[in-house]
Amino acid sequence: IYSPEELWGKVCAELAANLSQGVFKTWIFPNVLSDVEEFEDKVICTIESPTSFHISIIEKSFKTAIIDSITAIVEKPVELKLKVGD
């Protein structure tokens, strides 16, 4: 399994290639993949966002793309948790 930093780096590289630079820098880049928990049947990833508004935008517009990207990398079903960081 990848470290959170390594995994998020791969996800960001993929998302950056598919989104405009402005959208990526505003909504994806400020987030941190803070935790990756691997279980036999799934992987739970926790993303920390700077604000609750970021979380609502991710939920609405980017959650599926993030999950799809992580799933392709870890080759297991992914559950995504979003929270406001410290």
For the stretch 55-77, pLDDT in tens is 999 999 999 999 999 999 999 99
Q: Given pLDDT bands bounded at 50, 70 and 90, which one contains residue 41?
A: very high
pLDDT per position as a tens digit, 7-40: 999 999 999 999 999 999 999 999 999 999 999 9
- Check if the beta carbon of residue 78 is closer than 8 Å to that of residue 36: no
Question: What pLDDT, on the 0 to 100 scale, is given for residue 86?
Answer: 77
C-alpha to C-alpha distance for 57 and 76, rounded to whole angstroms: 25
Q: What is the pTM of this model?
A: 0.94
